[in-house]
Amino acid sequence: MSTVGAFLREKLKNMATWLENEGVSGAAVSHLQEVQIVAMAQHLHDNYAEALTQRAFTPLLQDKENIPLIVLKIIKEVEARVDLHDKFWRYLELFSKTVGNHE
């Protein structure tokens, strides 16, 4: 059985590959450790449920203290590309729900 960290790493890798194929630079997040990925997903779950529901970029972009800079860069680039919004938000919701299911 896979760990939560391994599952999230795989999904983050899938998201990064999709974004790279869409021309979003900086989508290589392979340097993030599983513990960082889980912590980021937990932070999304604990602090950004409303932003995820409303699909609001601004609250996420303002959290320079808790969200890795590479991820903030990705969020900013995705915000500028309306065609990427739906799938991107579905990924973030998956990350949040995954850690929420393991509380």
Per-residue confidence (pLDDT) for residue 60, from 0 to 100: 95
pLDDT tens digit sequence for 14-63: 999 999 999 997 666 778 889 999 999 999 999 999 999 999 999 999 99
**H or E element, residue 51:** helix 49-54
Are residues 20 and 27 in contact, defined by beta-carbon separation less than 8 angstroms?
yes
Q: For residue 94, what are the domain limits?
A: 4-100
pLDDT tens digit sequence for 69-96: 888 999 999 999 999 999 999 999 999 9
Report the candidate in 34, 32, 16, 33 with the shortest Cα–Cα distance to residue 24: 16
Domain count, the chain: 1
**C-alpha dihedral, 46 to 102 to 37 to 52, nearest 10°:** -40
* Token pair 């309306």: residue: 82
Structure tokens at 28: 């290589």
Structure tokens at 103: 């509380």
